[in-house]
């Protein structure tokens, strides 16, 4: 919403009556500004207020869904141009293509290759989302059978690239799976009618923004509602430019007639498809179709997507665990701090500057700094003792001495009590680590017997 | 119906910074634009420039890299010539990692000698990277600043050592790469601190710390976008060219591990990993990229549209 | 094992405290009521609980905090020192004893030309008296009023005895949770501190009578302790207080001493876990809730509360700024009592420092306003750079100390302790963190409602700097957002002023209740933009320095 809380507040009754569930009208205004509440919740609001705020609250870029159930793909529904302004909600959907004119073995083998484009990274599954079926045969029956087989084998929603006849046949075969219909520009109207009848999403292809303006209007006139817009760029450069135009039209311009998720077919001889795909993942591409099923291409693209579509407001964290500074031995000091990335970088840098090999334990506290994590109860005697027992540091060092950040010296007794480790209180400021570490008596790190 | 495209107009312009070349070489100028990257709007007098890293010291190259640069990597002069020549790098990043106690134990004077040799071997613009060890760098930067026979850029100055690095650069007419750990405020603070020392703004590049794909790249992406937007919106201390060193991409398992069959051929995947990191940086607004693999140079230069 | 005497003797009072095995000397002192400074609440962070020990003890020889000479002469940190055997005798060193504040009561009076409408009618016997209290985290302050005509009879201050169990509120909550009997101990100390203050008020009053009403303003944690409610929920998500409004009860229900046992106690309502009745009282005193113009109110103290708003709406938060301006966390910091430097100037050529100290005696340290001035002067003189680090100028009055390089404010031969009064980089870092948090809190509130800084017509400043506050110094280091100096209105102890106002005019009490219910509590810890604003503030005066330049014009010199 472009309106600030104070702008919204001015439209409210200002009685603090609490009917909306908020303690004051200002609180309610802040909720509306954040998109977390609707003006409907305020019965005494004026008609003018309701009108103004409902209009402003309508999403600038509508949502389009393809497929159903667990594999459903959601496009659009974005509110900002840059992820740091809030976040991007729906990752660029990636489809890998298959043709219907090969042998059964080729077909099956290609489907298997597509199924293998599914990887696990940092505890999340990243995978190709859709199968794009190209009608190379021209035969309706063959195409329809291929569609059914592709869906059966992969379970992934389909993107059906076909002329009118085969398209209709395929729809008969796989309509419940909610495929995306991709007619040729000449066949737009019959496909739009089909999409309208069957309530399926439709890919509208035209030349440039002006062309799309007409084509989208035609599709809407035929009754189709769920649309994605393909401005048919010829180079990666055009693609980025047009994707940006479409996104700006929706979010900045609020031009409803052009506010649709964007779609790009980067196969079929499109120049530099990998380059285009990478840039479009970063810049406003909602759905991409690729002809390559090479994991060397897809893994980086899927990783890029995974990275860019995380919520930037989560604090930067590093992975918790045991980190080595230099080459530590079993009598090297053991330090501990939190996994807020700035804390990690600072402490790590200062430890390295000390030139004293050591182990640095990084505790998982949802990316908070040391004091914040302590105050929030996430960095406690209990949690630290638990980490000492579970992270495997006991196998790496023969002593049982832990150096604690000075800011939480108060935890030392509890840690000693619970873990049996001895605790030394380190400096309050990480910048004092070099002199602290250098002055440590080696006797502190003698092996513990038994 | 005619559609009016909502194109933002920015009041600011990114300062032009030139990396000077030796006699007969081509300097690299970046910056000068008043619009966002990769789009045909506003003025973009200079395209982003792609350079390559010239390593020193003991190297453990992943297979994909070794295959491409192995024969040259052990000899900085040969490597420099190959990068600037056949491989098309517009500038060189000479990394003195060999001077790190764990990196090959080159002495400071040996590091300075390498600098002299490389600078005479090719006229390409050069950025010189320290070894990363605070104590060695404290001696290395001044030595290198003196040894360099022509103006170069020193990488990098950070909050803790900026007086030393900027001092060495000022004394000998070099530029400085100002580094901050993925924090827009620290990036700005660095430029303010340098200005307070009297360092000319058109000899400063911003290095926001580039995380490799899958390992923090999105933080870099966002910071680069934010720095660029702030600079274009009128914040002079941030209206500077941005340098992204893609080396971190090679720390990823996915870039180097040949054992996972499902991941495809590592010989293709490794360079792709670096390339993808670079493409994201270009999309965010990077003006200079440093790569390690020759194929990345061509691929990224192809995307470095004006 | 300690010998048959079974007790530790504390000097100079000569107090014997029964020996409890496993307890530190500090814990013994607290239990025995021996006055010993421990701002960090025994958490081994502040290094201020120095004692001279003879007899069998172990521990307390912190090499990072005590010098070799100190350790050799028998000085230990009481929080880390445990008695083991033989007779143990402990002498509290002079620097480790808490002391009284000089003047802490310059609150603006609310009375003005308001009608006098006291809360109660005349007492059964004698003159009806009222007490207004500010129950601060570090300091208790009170005013005694003749309720028959509104005259102020006496004023007094005292340290909050809870300090020994923790300088900041979270430490006290933790103490209450983790130490056996901790909650009762903290509650008891608060009550005894209040009783002692009331006694002083009566002793120094020209008129006697019967206290019929008490109006008290304290933050939420303190209000909970007073009412016997455990403040633990405040520390855990969702960080809500157990209650925000406190019933009006006679003092004996709370357990106060005889002087106020029959008086009716009113405690200002809280706004949230970390913004309490003291802020509500401050808003009342400022009058911002009656104006159309939008104002900011800063309560500069450990909790660093900020309020933004006007008569229609208000929003408040706590920045947990830290005690740097109350003398905590800064090596040479002290509270505003005699010996505290309250104003500093540094000659940019010679780097020599000139100062004025409270009481015109030899200086022992710096209070909040002195620390503020010092930081501003160091920056103006180019002795520190924007990041708060010493620059590389020579002849700067600097020397190296155990805590790193430091600027000598007062050389030993001129100081009260005979030791140099020094200020090092980590002290400046503490100040930077405090001021960054406070400034960022105000910016966060403005962002939360969507107002630009220019919309703020007035800035009220309340808090414990001491006697006064140099606004130019404040803006030189960026303690407040860059708002034109003319809009600032220092209030002194606004919480006490608000309590006093409510005591003398019952309409004010109702006004306080109503303004509290219309003030929104904003939790900064869940505000995603706060950390970034904070990071921006960790620079002198700020990362967005352009705006400060125009507000201060020639005041800030950039280091050439």
- Specify burial of residue C493 (Cβ count, 10 A radius: 0-12, 13-18, 19+): buried
What percent of chain A stands above pLDDT 90?
69
Nearest to B305 among A237, A299, A300 (CB): A237
Same domain, C278 and C138: yes
Q: Which of A83, A375, A412 has the highest number of chain C CBs within 10 A, making it the mutation to test binding with C?
A: A375
Confidence of residue A450 (pLDDT cuts 50, 70, 90): very low
pLDDT-wise least confident of B225-234, C151-160, C321-330, C409-418: C321-330
- On whether both C134 and C266 belong to a single domain, the answer is yes
Residues of chain C in contact with residue A14, where contact means CB-CB under 8 angstroms, are 312-313
Q: Is the peptide bond before C238 cis (omega within 30 degrees of 0)?
A: yes
Q: Residue C269 falls within a domain, yes or no?
A: yes
> In the structure, what pLDDT confidence band is assigned to residue A126 with cuts at 50, 70 and 90?
very high
Enumerate the residues of chain C whose CB falls inside 8 A of the CB of residue B189. Answer: 386-387, 539, 543
CATH number of the domain bearing residue B164: 3.20.20.20
Over 90: is that where the pLDDT of A343 sits? no
Contacts of C534 (CB under 8 A, 6+ apart): C436, C437, C440
CATH number of the CATH domain containing C260: 3.30.420.480
The CATH number covering residue C53 comes to 3.10.20.30
Tell me, yes or no, whether C145 and C237 share the same domain: yes
Domain count, chain B: 1
C-alpha distance from B213 to closest chain C C-alpha (Å): 24
Residue to mutate among B7, B130, B161, B213, with most A CBs inside 10 A, is B213
- pLDDT given for residue B209 in this prediction: 93
CB within 8 Å: A406 and C520: no
Taking residues C39-43, what's their average pLDDT?
A: 61
Tell me the three state secondary structure of residue A96: strand
B117 touches chain C (CB under 8 A): no
Helix or strand or coil: residue C250? strand
Are C134 and C86 in a shared domain? Answer: no
In a domain? residue C488: no
User: Is residue C111 predicted with pLDDT exceeding 50?
Assistant: no
pLDDT at A449: 60
Q: Place A306 in a pLDDT band, splitting at 50, 70 and 90.
A: very high
Report pLDDT for C554: 41
Q: Which of A258, A307, A355 sits opposite B213 (nearest CB)?
A: A307
CB C335 within 8 A of CB C320: no
Q: Please indicate if any CB of chain B lies within 8 Å of the CB of C528.
A: no
Question: With an 8 Å Cβ cutoff, are C45 and A313 in contact?
Answer: no
Taking 90 as the threshold, does the pLDDT of residue B296 lie above it? yes
The residue ranking higher by pLDDT, B272 or C29, is B272
Query: So what's the pLDDT on residue C97?
Result: 61
Q: Is the Cβ of A217 closer than 8 Å to some Cβ of chain C?
A: no
Of the partner residues C532, C538, C545, the one whose CB lies closest to the CB of residue B192: C545
The range of the structural domain enclosing residue B228 comes to 17-303
Which chain C residue has its CA at the smallest distance from A437's CA?
C64
Cβ-in-10-Å burial (0-12, 13-18, 19+) of A71 comes to middle
| Percent with pLDDT over 70 in chain B | 100
Q: For residue C537, give the chain B residue with the closest CA.
A: B185
B4 part of a folded domain = no
pLDDT value at residue A29: 93
Q: Is B236 a member of any domain? A: yes
- Shortest Cα distance from B23 to chain A (angstroms)? 35
Q: How far is B40 from chain A (nearest CA, A)?
A: 7
C370-428 tens-digit pLDDT: 999 999 999 999 999 999 999 876 666 888 877 778 999 999 999 988 889 999 988 99
pLDDT tens per residue across span A353-403: 777 899 999 999 887 878 778 877 789 899 999 999 999 999 999 999 999
Under the banding of pLDDT at 50, 70 and 90, the label for residue A340 is confident
Judge if C19 and C155 occupy the same domain.
Answer: no
Using a CB–CB cutoff of 8 Å, tell me whether C520 touches chain A.
yes
Q: Which residues of A touch B275 (CB under 8 A)?
A: 274, 278, 300
pLDDT on residue C558: 36
The pLDDT-based confidence of C125 (bands split at 50, 70, 90) is low
Structural domain includes residue B177: yes
The verdict on a CB contact (< 8 Å) between B1 and A213 is: yes
Give residue for tokens 């306080």. C512
CB contact under 8 A, B188 and C385: no
Q: What is the pLDDT of residue A349?
A: 74
**What integer pLDDT is reported at residue C549 of this predicted model?**
84
**CB-neighbour burial class of residue A433 (10 A; exposed 0-12, middle 13-18, buried 19+):** buried
What pLDDT score was predicted for residue C411?
92
Q: Give the model confidence (pLDDT) of C454-477 as tens digits.
A: 999 999 998 766 656 788 889 999
> C189 and C90, same structural domain?
no
| pLDDT above 90 coverage of chain B, percent | 84
Q: What average pLDDT does chain C have?
A: 85
Specify the range with the lowest mean pLDDT, choosing from A69-78, A98-107, B211-220.
Answer: B211-220
Same domain, C137 and C89: no
Using a CB-CB distance cutoff of 8 angstroms, which residues of chain C are in contact with residue A5? 448-450
Residue C429 touches chain A, beta carbons under 8 Å? yes
| Domain presence at residue C479 | no
Chain position carrying tokens 């995307």: B303
Chain C CB contacts of B193 under 8 Å are 385-387
Q: Which of B181-190, C57-66, C165-174 has the lowest mean pLDDT?
A: C57-66
pLDDT of residue C100: 36
Cα of first residue to Cα of last residue in chain B, in angstroms, is: 30
Residue where a domain stops, chosen among C255, C286, C317: C286
Chains within contact range of chain A (3+ C-beta pairs < 8 Å): B, C
Residues C214 and C71 in one domain: no
pLDDT range class, residue C124, cuts 50, 70, 90: low
Structural domain containing residue C173: 127-286
pLDDT of residue C19: 85
- Cα end-to-end distance, chain C, whole Å: 64
Q: What is the pLDDT of residue C39?
A: 55
* Domains of chain A and any CATH numbers: 5-57 (1.10.15.40), 63-308 (3.20.20.20), 321-445 (3.40.50.11600)
What does the pLDDT look like over A183-200, one tens digit per residue?
999 999 999 999 999 999
Residue C17 has pLDDT above 80, yes or no: yes
B251: left (phi over 0), alpha (psi -120 to 50) or beta: alpha
- Per-residue pLDDT at C316: 97
pLDDT at position C45, please?
62
- Comparing C545 with B83, the larger pLDDT belongs to B83
Same-domain pairing of C59 and C189: no
Q: Domain check: are C280 and C132 in the same one?
A: yes
Distance CA C289, CA C16 (A): 53
Q: What is the pLDDT of residue C489?
A: 85
Among C235, C184, C210, CA closest to C123 = C210
| Shortest Cα–Cα distance, C421 to chain B (Å) | 26
pLDDT for the residue B17: 98
Which H or E element spans position B218?
A: helix B217-232
Of the pLDDT bands very low, low, confident and very high (cuts 50, 70, 90), residue A446 is confident
In this predicted structure, the answer to whether residue A125 has a pLDDT above a threshold of 80 is yes
Q: Establish if B12 belongs to a structural domain.
A: no
Q: How confident is the model at residue C488 (pLDDT cuts 50, 70, 90)?
A: confident
Same domain, C169 and C82: no
From C260, C286, C312, give the residue that closes a domain: C286
Instruction: Answer whether residue C329 shows pLDDT above 90.
Output: no
Residue from C360, C448, C421, C325 nearest A33 by CA: C448
Examine residue C305 and state whether it is found in any structural domain, yes or no: no
Q: Dihedral angle at the C-alpha atoms of A324, A330, A331, A333, nearest 10 degrees?
A: 30
CB contact at 8 A, A339 and A367: yes
Least confident of A162-171, B255-264, B295-304: B255-264
Asked if the Cβ–Cβ distance from B264 to A121 is below 8 Å, we say: no
C44, C315, C429 ranked by CB distance to A26: nearest: C315
- Note whether residue C53 is domain-resident: yes
Q: Are C12 and C150 within one domain?
A: no
The number of folded domains in chain C is 2
The average confidence (pLDDT) of chain B is: 94
User: Nearest C-alpha of chain C: how many angstroms from B171?
Assistant: 16
On whether the pTM is more than 0.90, the answer is no
């Amino acid at each position: 919403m472009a309106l600030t809380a104070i702008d919204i507040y001015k439209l409210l009754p200002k009685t603090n009556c609490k009917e909306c569930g908020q303690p004051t009208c200002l609180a309610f205004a802040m909720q509306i500004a954040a998109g977390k509440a609707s003006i409907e919740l305020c019965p005494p609001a004026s008609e003018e207020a309701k009108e103004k705020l409902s209009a402003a609250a309508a999403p600038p870029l509508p949502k389009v869904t393809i497929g159903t159930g667990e594999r459903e793909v959601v496009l659009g529904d974005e509110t900002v141009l840059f992820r740091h302004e809030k976040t991007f909600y729906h990752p660029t959907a990636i489809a890998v293509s298959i043709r219907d004119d090969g042998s059964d073995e080729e077909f099956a083998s290609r489907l298997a290759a597509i199924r293998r484009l599914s990887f696990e990274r940092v505890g999340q599954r990243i995978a190709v989302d859709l199968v794009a079926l190209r009608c190379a045969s021209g035969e309706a029956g063959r195409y329809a059978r291929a569609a059914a087989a592709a869906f059966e084998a992969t379970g992934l929603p389909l993107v059906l690239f076909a002329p009118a006849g085969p398209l209709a046949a395929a729809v008969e075969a796989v309509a419940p799976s909610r495929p995306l219909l991709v007619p040729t520009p000449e066949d737009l109207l019959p496909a739009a009618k089909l999409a309208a009848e069957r309530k399926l999403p439709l890919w509208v292809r035209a030349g440039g923004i002006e062309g799309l303006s007409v084509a989208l209007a035609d599709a809407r006139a035929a009754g189709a509602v769920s649309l994605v817009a393909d401005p048919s760029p010829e180079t990666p450069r055009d693609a980025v430019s047009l994707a940006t135009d479409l996104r700006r039209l929706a979010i900045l311009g609020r031009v409803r007639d052009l506010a649709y998720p964007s779609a790009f077919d980067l196969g079929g001889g499109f120049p530099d498809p990998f380059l285009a795909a990478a840039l479009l993942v970063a810049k406003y591409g909602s759905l991409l179709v690729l002809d390559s099923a090479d994991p060397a291409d897809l893994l980086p693209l899927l990783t890029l997507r995974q990275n860019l579509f995380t919520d930037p407001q989560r604090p930067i964290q590093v992975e918790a665990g045991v980190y080595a500074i230099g080459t530590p031995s079993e009598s090297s000091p053991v330090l501990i701090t939190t996994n807020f990335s700035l804390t990690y970088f600072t402490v790590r840098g200062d430890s390295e500057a000390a030139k004293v090999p050591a182990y640095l334990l990084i505790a998982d506290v949802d990316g908070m700094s040391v004091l914040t994590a302590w105050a929030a109860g996430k960095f406690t005697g209990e949690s630290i003792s638990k980490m000492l027992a579970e992270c495997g540091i006991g196998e790496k060092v023969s002593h049982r001495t832990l150096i604690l950040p000075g800011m939480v010296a108060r935890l030392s007794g509890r840690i000693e009590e619970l873990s049996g480790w001895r605790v030394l209180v380190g400096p309050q400021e990480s910048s004092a680590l070099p002199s602290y570490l250098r002055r440590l008596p080696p006797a502190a790190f003698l092996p513990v017997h038994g | 119906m005619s559609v009016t495209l909502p194109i933002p107009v920015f009041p600011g312009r990114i300062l032009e910074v030139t990396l000077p070349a030796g006699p007969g070489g081509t300097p690299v100028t970046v910056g000068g634009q008043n619009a966002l990257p990769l789009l045909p709007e506003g003025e973009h007098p200079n395209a982003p420039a792609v350079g390559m890293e010239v390593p020193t010291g003991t190297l453990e190259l992943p297979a994909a890299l070794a295959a491409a640069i192995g024969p040259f990597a052990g000899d900085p002069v040969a490597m420099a010539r190959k990068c600037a020549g056949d491989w098309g790098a517009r500038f060189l990043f000479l990394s003195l990692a060999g001077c790190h106690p764990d990196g090959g134990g080159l002495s400071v004077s040996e590091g300075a000698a390498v600098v002299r040799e490389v600078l005479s071997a090719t006229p390409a613009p050069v950025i010189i990277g320290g070894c990363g060890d605070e104590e060695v760098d404290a001696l290395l930067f001044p030595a290198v600043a003196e040894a360099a026979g022509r103006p170069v850029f020193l990488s990098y100055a950070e909050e803790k050592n900026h007086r030393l690095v900027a001092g060495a650069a000022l004394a000998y007419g070099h530029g400085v790469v100002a580094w901050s750990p993925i924090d827009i405020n620290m990036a700005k603070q660095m430029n303010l601190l340098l200005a307070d020392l009297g360092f000319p703004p058109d000899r400063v590049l911003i290095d926001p710390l580039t995380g490799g794909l899958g390992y923090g790249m999105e933080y870099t992406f966002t910071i680069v976008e934010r720095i660029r937007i702030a600079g274009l919106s009128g914040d002079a201390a941030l209206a500077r060219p941005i340098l992204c060193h893609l080396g971190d991409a090679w720390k990823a398992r996915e870039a180097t591990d040949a054992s996972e069959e499902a991941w495809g051929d590592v010989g293709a995947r490794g360079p792709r990993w670096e390339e993808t990191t670079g493409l994201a940086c270009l999309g965010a607004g990077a003006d200079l990229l440093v790569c390690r693999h020759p194929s990345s140079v061509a691929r990224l230069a192809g995307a470095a549209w004006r | 094992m300690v010998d048959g005497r079974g007790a530790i003797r504390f000097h100079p009072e000569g107090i014997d405290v029964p020996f409890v095995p496993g307890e530190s000397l500090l814990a013994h002192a607290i239990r025995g009521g021996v006055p010993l400074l421990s701002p960090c609440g025994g958490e081994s962070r502040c290094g201020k609980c120095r004692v001279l020990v003879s007899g069998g003890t172990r521990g307390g020889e912190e090499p990072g905090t005590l010098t070799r000479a100190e350790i050799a002469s028998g000085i230990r940190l009481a929080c880390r020192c445990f008695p083991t055997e033989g007779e143990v005798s402990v002498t509290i060193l002079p620097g480790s004893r808490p002391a009284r504040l000089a003047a802490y009561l310059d609150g603006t009076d609310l009375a003005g030309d308001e009608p006098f409408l006291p809360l109660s009618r005349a007492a059964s016997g004698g003159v009806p008296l009222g007490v207004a209290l500010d129950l601060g985290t570090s300091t208790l302050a009170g005013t005694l009023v003749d309720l028959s005509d509104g005259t102020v009879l006496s004023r007094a201050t005292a340290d909050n005895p809870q300090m020994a169990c923790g300088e900041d509120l979270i430490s006290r909550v933790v103490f209450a949770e983790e130490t056996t009997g901790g909650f009762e101990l903290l509650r008891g100390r608060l009550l005894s501190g209040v009783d002692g203050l009331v006694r002083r008020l009566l002793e120094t009053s020209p008129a006697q009578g019967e206290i019929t009403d008490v109006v008290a303003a304290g933050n939420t944690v303190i209000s909970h302790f007073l009412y016997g409610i455990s403040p633990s929920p405040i520390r855990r998500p969702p960080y809500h207080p157990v209650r925000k409004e406190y019933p009006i009860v006679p003092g004996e229900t709370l357990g106060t001493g005889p002087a106020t046992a029959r008086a009716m106690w009113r405690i200002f309502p809280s706004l949230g876990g970390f913004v309490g009745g003291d802020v509500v009282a401050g808003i009342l005193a400022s009058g911002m809730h009656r104006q159309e113009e939008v104002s900011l109110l800063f309560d500069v103290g450990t909790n660093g509360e900020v309020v933004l708003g006007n008569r229609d709406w208000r929003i408040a938060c706590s920045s947990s700024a830290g005690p740097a301006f109350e003398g905590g966390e800064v090596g040479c910091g002290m509270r505003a009592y005699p010996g505290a430097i309250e104003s500093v100037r540094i000659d940019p050529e010679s780097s020599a420092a000139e100062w004025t100290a409270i009481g015109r005696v030899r200086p022992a340290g710096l209070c909040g306003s002195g620390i503020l001035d010092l930081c501003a002067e160091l920056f103006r003189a180019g002795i520190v750079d924007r990041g708060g680090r010493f620059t590389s100028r020579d002849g700067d009055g600097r020397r190296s100390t155990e805590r790193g390089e430091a600027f000598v404010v007062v050389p030993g031969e001129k100081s009260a302790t005979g030791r140099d009064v020094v200020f090092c980089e980590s002290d400046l870092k503490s100040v930077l963190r405090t001021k960054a948090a406070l400034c960022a809190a105000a910016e966060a509130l403005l962002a939360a409602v969507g107002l630009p800084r220019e919309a703020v017509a007035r800035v009220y400043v309340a808090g414990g700097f001491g006697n006064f506050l140099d606004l130019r110094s404040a803006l030189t280091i960026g303690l407040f957002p860059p708002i034109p100096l003319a809009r600032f209105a220092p209030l002194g102890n606004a919480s006490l002023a608000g309590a006093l106002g409510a005591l003398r005019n019952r309409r004010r009490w109702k006004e306080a209740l109503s303004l509290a219910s219309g003030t929104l509590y904003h939790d900064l810890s869940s505000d995603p933009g706060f950390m970034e604003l904070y990071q921006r503030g960790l620079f002198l005066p700020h990362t967005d320095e352009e705006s400060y330049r125009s507000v201060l014009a020639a005041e800030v010199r950039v280091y050439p």
